[in-house]
Amino acid sequence: MDPIGRLISWFTKFPGVGNKSARRMVFFLLKQDTSMLREFGQSIASLKDDLHTCEECGNISDSNPCPICRDPLRDRSTLCVVENIDDLVSFEQAGIYSGLYHVLGGRVSPFEDEDLSQENLDFLREHIESLNTREVIVATNPRMEGDLTYFTLLEFLREMGGPSRLKISRLAFGLPIGGSIEFADRMTLHTALESRVEASDEASWS
């Protein structure tokens, strides 16, 4: 395959990029000068070399602990538990939350044969214990997998701390059921967080 065709086919591997968009990107790159292209290529080549998983929260950044965990201005008594890094980034970009995060790195999804491992749960327990957390906000997505993940966490957290010591709350969803944190706008996320509710055994999707 020629260099242009090869690059087009690389871009079509990106989520949401079809052949037409991929062609536009390649023709955009063709118009740039060589130094920009080298820099771009270098950024991609070294992407994983410069990144570390935060051993406290599971976030990925260029330092360990990550800048969020190191930030002295953040409220260290509140922990927002998210399913993955995309969700953390959504909250951060919305600028609506000043506590710390915990990235689960897993979820409960019987259809895709996924479950939270003991390792996932131990990592969360260590984080809560080291911070002496007062409130855990479970920010799983408003869909069936998110609910199943929430129930597993709820049981785990109740066993761990008991409701008197550890407050457990959950996002109140103005989000459409079946929607996701990743694609929610700032206002929706803000409302979901501000009107969060004390943990209960009710599902959001039923």
169 binds Zn ion (CB under 5 A): no
Task: Name the CA radius of gyration of the chain, rounded.
Answer: 20
Three-state DSSP at 95 gives coil
Residues in 128-147 at the binding interface with Zn ion, rule: CB under 5 A: none
Contact between 55 and 79 (Cβ < 8 Å): no
Q: How far is the CB of 137 from Zn ion (least distance, A)?
A: 16
Contact between 1 and 9 (Cβ < 8 Å): yes
Other Cβ atoms within 10 Å of 144 Cβ, number: 18
Q: What span, in angstroms and rounded, lies between the C-alpha atoms of 173 and 175?
A: 5
Two tokens, residue 96: 């609506």
Q: How far is the CB of 56 from Zn ion (least distance, A)?
A: 5
Count of residues near Zn ion by CB under 5 A: 7
171 binds Zn ion (CB under 5 A): no
Closest residue by Cα to residue 193 from 147, 138, 155: 138
Instruction: Please provide residue 66's backbone torsions phi and psi, each rounded to the nearest 5 degrees.
Output: -75, 165
Q: How far is the CB of 152 from Zn ion (least distance, A)?
A: 22
The residue from 66, 88, 168, 192 that contacts Zn ion (CB under 5 A) is: 66
Two tokens, residue 83: 């399913």
Closest residue by Cα to residue 143 from 99, 182, 96: 182
Q: Which stretch binds Zn ion (CB under 5 A): 52-60, 75-83, 91-99, 133-141?
A: 52-60
Other Cβ atoms within 10 Å of 50 Cβ, number: 10
The residue from 8, 22, 26, 69 that contacts Zn ion (CB under 5 A) is: 69
Q: How far is the CB of 34 from Zn ion (least distance, A)?
A: 37
Q: Which stretch binds Zn ion (CB under 5 A): 7-15, 68-76, 159-167, 192-200?
A: 68-76
54 binds Zn ion (CB under 5 A): yes
Q: Which stretch binds Zn ion (CB under 5 A): 49-57, 71-79, 145-153, 160-168?
A: 49-57
Taking phi first (over 0 means left), then psi (-120 to 50 degrees means alpha), and beta for anything else, what does residue 193 get? alpha
59 binds Zn ion (CB under 5 A): yes
The residue among 58 and 142 lying less far from Zn ion, judged by its C-beta, is 58
The residue among 120 and 204 lying less far from Zn ion, judged by its C-beta, is 120
Q: How far is the CB of 124 from Zn ion (least distance, A)?
A: 13
Question: Rule CB under 5 A: which residues touch Zn ion?
Answer: 54, 56-57, 59, 65-66, 69
